[in-house]
Chain A
Amino acid sequence: MKMLPTVIANLFSKPATRNYPFFVREPFEHARGELINDIERCIFCGACARKCPSQCLTVTKDKTEGIWTLEFFACVGCGVCVDVCPVNCLSQKTTHRPVAVERAVITLRGKLPERPAKKDRPDSIEKTAE
């Protein structure tokens, strides 16, 4: 009975929920969402992979090419990699990845920085299903 005023107030106010798929709330400005790598600027130092607490990042490189892979299903969105990146090529969007039905990893390839820093276009951005 003590609840009655609240219940009546709720009866005459707008619903607290949104009609979700048709109305999506704007994300917050600093929300930590999808992790993206501007591979052109990446120097493949591997700092992100070493610091990642969920070990979802791997960085490998050979003589000319570096490969940066993100197992985004394992990513916890803490943003530690963004903090430690020395060239600030990592960033987080404010939105999250849409749900997926298949497990996948994101593989990005890029040229290693030559001594006269020559930046090539990223070769390919591919999603490989495991």
Chain B
Amino acid sequence: MARTVIPFGPQHPVLPEPIHLSLVLEDEKVVEALPTLGYVHRGLEMLAVKRDYNQMIQIVERVCGICSMIHSLCYCQGIEEMLGIEAPRRARMLRVVWSELHRLHSHLLWLGLFADSFGFESLFMQLWKIRERVMDLNEATTGNRVIVSVNVVGGVRTDLDEAQVRWIKDTLVEVEASIRSLQSTIMNDTTVCKRTKGVGVLTKQAAYDLGAAGPMLRGSGVAQDMRQLKYAGFDELAFEPVVETAGDCWARSTVRFRESLQSIDLVRQALDKLAPGDLAVKVKGKPEGEVITRVEQPRGECLYYLKGNGSTFLERVRIRTPTFANIPPLAAILPGLDFADVPVVVLSIDPCISCTER
């Protein structure tokens, strides 16, 4: 059988962002997949030499377009640890609120894109319609729609008043109801199951060995979620990682679906625990030393390594984003698949390429 090389991407109808895969095909089966990156590389880590550590907050938010809040949360947490300060309780709870709203809208976006990857347009539209409500919550409470810019070193910049808290809760009731109304479609619909069940299986052992992160890891049965580290306000909230054991595309989408409902629950819990208090503590000193912080992003574990030298400029900012960890597992599960399943499997890792390349 002659081998054919089919270029997949960087521009492809299912890809939200550019990644190129050279797929070596034998008949209809993929035998080899080689990812190529570099279409959206911006060198953001290097900007740390030109921007001081406060300005870097807005830079790291732009690493990812969709989980911006969680990037800056991770970064601020690291700087706070270096400076030996802790954000006040109200700020930590507010961080949970916005980071979970981000996770919610990111998962809704992904579920929509995933539906789109196997041609389920009406599900895609429906999910994005729900997502728009969450985006409105972000915009009305912070001022910006996606890149909300609420974190500062030592706390948050924006507060929620009573009316907003009530409004968020009311909206989330409706959002939850509309997400739940799609549950049977996403999890049990015949078309969806035929395209996702048993496709792109990543076993528990393989996921762990390949260093997969986030829903990719939890979809394969490893109960690991960085929120178990109890950062920000998660120490006071009831939380259990969502785990599925099948390891296929269906499991990964189910993990994300259930996590979006969990996020709604976490926002509610955090809003209930919101006690009056300061928004930020005073920042003294300059960051010095090394620190590693980790948070859970919608796509998985995100690791920041920060090194300061006692000046306003950081010496090194290293960002390990979850998609970066999920590309090797993707390259490992693609061989053996039908070519028609490749878009679904590629989408199932929730590729965020601008995160990957930074």
Contacts and interface: CB of A to CB of B under 8 A. Distances in A.
Task: Please determine if A and B sit in direct contact within the complex, based on CB atoms under 8 angstroms apart.
Answer: yes
A99 interface: no
B189 A53 contact: no
B190 A53 contact: no
Contacts of B141: 30
Nearest to B181: A6
Interface in A1-38: 1-3, 5-7, 10, 16, 28-32
B311 interface: no
Interface in B2-35: none
Contacts of A78: 58, 144, 147, 149
Contact of B143 (A1, A3, A30): A30
A79 B148 CA distance: 10
A62 B206 CA distance: 66
B46 interface: no
Interface string B119-141: 01011001001001000100111
A123 interface: no
Given A1-B190, A53-B58, A76-B147, A6 B126 contact: yes
A51 interface: yes
A86 to B, nearest CB: 17
A32 B144 contact: yes
Contacts of B228: none
A77 B58 CA distance: 10
Contacts of B149: 32, 76, 78-80
B204 interface: no
Interface string A41-57: 00000000001111000
Q: What secondary structure prevails in chain B residues at the interface with A? A: helix
B230 interface: no
A3 B123 contact: yes
A2 B142 contact: no
A80 B55 CA distance: 9
B309 interface: no
Interface residues of A, number: 24
The contact size tier of chain B is: 20 to 34
B140 A7 contact: no
A53 B55 contact: yes
A80 B143 contact: no
Interface string B46-77: 00000100111111001000000000000000
Given A30-B142, A31-B143, A53 B51 contact: yes
Interface string B312-330: 0000000000000000000
A10 to B, nearest CB: 8
A2 B142 CA distance: 36
Contacts of B157: 79, 83
A129 B234 CA distance: 50
Contacts of B132: 16
Given A6-B185, A31-B139, A51-B54, 16 more contacts: A3-B122, A5-B181, A7-B122, A10-B126, A16-B132, A28-B140, A30-B142, A31-B140, A31-B144, A32-B143, A53-B51, A76-B58, A78-B58, A78-B149, A79-B149, A79-B157
5 contacts: A1-B189, A1-B190, A2-B184, A2-B188, A76-B58
Interface of A: 1-3, 5-7, 10, 16, 28-32, 51-54, 76-80, 83, 92
Interface of B: 51, 54-59, 62, 120, 122-123, 126, 129, 132, 136, 139-144, 147, 149, 157-158, 181-182, 184-185, 188-190
In order of increasing CB-CB distance, the 5 nearest A-B pairs are A32-B143, A53-B58, A53-B55, A28-B140, A78-B149
